Structure 1
Amino acid sequence: MCIAYLAIGAHPDWPLFIAANRDEFHARPTMVAGPWPTHPELLAGIDQMAGGTWLGVTRQGRFALLTNYRDMAYKAQAASRGALVADYLKQEMPPGDYAAQIARQGGRYNGFNLIVGDLEQSCYASNRHGDGQAVVLEPGRHVLSNHLLNTAWPKTQRLKERLDEYPMQELAKTLNPVFDILKDTTPAEDNALPSTGLSLERERLLSSPFIISPEYGTRCSTVVAINRDGRGFFSEITYDPQGIPAERHDWPFSLARHPVPAAGSES
């Protein structure tokens, strides 16, 4: 997962909305999103190399997503970051407790950003945050890429501005405009590129919300949303190395408990 937009408690009818792109090497084997055979209440893709995932949701309203933090400090023997999402979704630990635990254990992993939540609380943890503490997210709209939460990189600002303007009441009709926004290949100007230790050519390639290249690029776009009645969906489009859609999967679901508290109401 390399860029994600989250609206948490920001709309009275849609307490959760996530739109995200996963960028990865095309050769890395991956299973498309769907119910996990061993945990059918869990909807997510599967990284077949390490067994974890980058974004998922459960019928209990738990959700989690992960991005890698881009830096040159890479440990070959570090624990799999994809397990951070999968482990949270498989258990019932409150998001605040889980995020705090992971923040304390951050040295086991290469650089990561992790958001875990349910429909009552959402938390952010990163082992590049500096203080080793998890952060409770306030209701609102957030964006995450390969730096810290809400870092104003050109790609994150571009995606946030476009999705901030999107009328979320349209989610019940069609997701196509959201997928169109996610498929934005506009690169940043050179003078606006971040400096993360990569070559200028590589920074240019990675500067758009949607990335196309033969070896590495956007493998899938995902939209997750849950409305106040407890009905949700998990929708994913996968792409080939040319950025051409290969498959689309739509998984509607109902929460095991509902209705969902409206934004700004007491739970």
Structure 2
Amino acid sequence: MCLILVAWQSHPDYALVVAGNRDEFYARPAAPVHWWEDAPQVLAGRDMAEVIGEPGTWMGLAGDGRFAALTNYRAPSEKRTDARSRGELVAGFLRGDSDPQSYLAGLAPRTGAYNGFNLLACDLRELWWYSNRGASPNPQRLKPGIYGLSNALLDTPWPKVRSRVGALAETLAADTGLAGASIEPYLELLANDRQALDCELPRTGVTPEWEKLLSSAFIRSPSYGTRASTVLRVRHDGRFELSERSFDANGRTGEVSYRGHLRVARDAGSVQAPR
């Protein structure tokens, strides 16, 4: 992902609300969100490119209530061609049974094998964030609140992060939480393609033209842009809904939606098939 907005324990009906955009070159193959055949408890998209390490994902949900999502840390001068795929970090958490703190702490000895990343991990009891960049070497437990994450550290106030965090707060406040409440407003806030003013642009090491292109929440260009917009809402009792819209250089290519019931400690039910 290149933009992840998270509302954690910030709504009377939802434990977790996530809205995110995945930006990537259109030529890089990927599968939209689906239940994985080789890991039936995992609901996620999948990177289909040839990579070093295990094929992974950028965001996903597991049937036991665990969630994870990742952004790359933009530092082109530090990028290594022999680094392992960062997507395997998300897949590893979703496939396993570790709690978020233990999983993230266990990454510390091997984070040098990856280019820069931010990783969010949640089990619907706790939400944690970890990056292999920045001053703190330790994972951080996040308090209830609304957070924005792009290709820098958590809550770095890039224009699109500030703007879309505010938009998420407004959308969340208007969400009645009633059954069937539309997910469309969340997808609309992800579709914002306003680029930042030149004076607002961060300096991350890419050209000014790319800095400008990458400054909007939704990105369009002939070769690179927002490939997927994904919205997840998980209720306190474990019921969830996940919708994803896919795009290429010519516009929207598809949409999938899943609903079900997660198997969490406070809810003894099993995962239901998506419908």
Q: When the two structures are superposed, what TM-score results if normalisation uses the length of structure 2?
A: 0.91
Specify whether residues 94 and 257 from structure 1 end up closer, same or farther in structure 2 by C-alpha distance, changes over 3 A only.
closer
Counterpart of 1:62 in structure 2 is: 66
Whether the 8 Å contact between 1:2 and 1:21 is mirrored in structure 2 is yes
Question: What's the CA shift string for 1:222-263, capped at 9, x where partnerless?
Answer: 011111222101210001113x21100001111123656xxx
In 2, are the aligned partners of 1:230 and 1:258 still within 8 Å (CA)?
no
Q: Which residue in 1 is equivalent to 2:107? A: 102
Matched, 1:21 2:29: no
Q: Which amino acid aligns with 1:245?
A: R
Partner of 2:263: 256
Which one of 87, 96, 120 corresponds to residue 91 of structure 1?
96
Separation of aligned partners in 2, 1:114 and 1:257: 22
The 1-side partners of 2:36 and 2:99 are apart by: 21
Structure 1 alignment gaps of length 5 or more: 261-267
Instruction: State the AA in 2 paired with 1:198.
Output: V
Alignment of 1:204 onto 2:208: no
Instruction: Tell me the distance in 2 between the aligned counterparts of 1:113 and 1:157.
Output: 18
Matches within 5 A, 1:130-169: 130-166=135-171, 167-169=174-176
Distance 1:40 1:107 in 2: 30
The code of the aligned residue for 1:194 comes to P
Deviations 1:28-52 (A, max 9, x none): 0001111000112210000001410
Gapped runs of 5+ residues in structure 2? 268-275
Q: SS of 1:204's equivalent?
A: helix
Match of 1:43 in 2: 43
Offset at 1:150?
Answer: 0.5
What's the offset of the Cα at 1:105?
Answer: 2.3
Q: Aligned pair count?
A: 259
C-alpha separation between the residues in 2 aligned to 1:170 and 1:131?
37
TM-score (norm 1): 0.94
Q: Secondary structure at the match of 2:240?
A: strand
**What do the CA deviations read for 1:150-199 (whole angstroms, capped 9, x no partner)?**
11000101110111111232574211111111000000000000000111
Q: Is the alpha carbon distance of 1:104 and 1:168 closer, same or farther for their aligned partners in structure 2, counting shifts above 3 Å?
A: farther
CA distance in 1: counterparts of 2:61 and 2:185, whole angstroms: 22
Identity %: 41
Say which is worse superposed, 212-221 or 102-111, in terms of deviation: 102-111
Q: CA RMSD in A?
A: 1.3
Partner of 2:273: none
Partner SS state of residue 188, structure 1: coil
Identify the residue that residue 271 of structure 2 maps to in structure 1: none
Out of 180-189 and 102-111, give the one that drifted further: 102-111
Contact 2:68 2:93 in 1 (8 A): yes
SS in 2 for 1:232: strand
Distance in 2 (CA, whole Å) between partners of 1:100 and 1:15 is 24
Pick from 84, 88, 93: which aligns with 1:79? 84
* Residues 103 and 134 in structure 1, CA contact (< 8 A), matched pair in contact too: no
Cα separation, 1, equivalents of 2:128 and 2:234? 18
Cα distance in 2 for partners of 1:182, 1:4 equals: 10
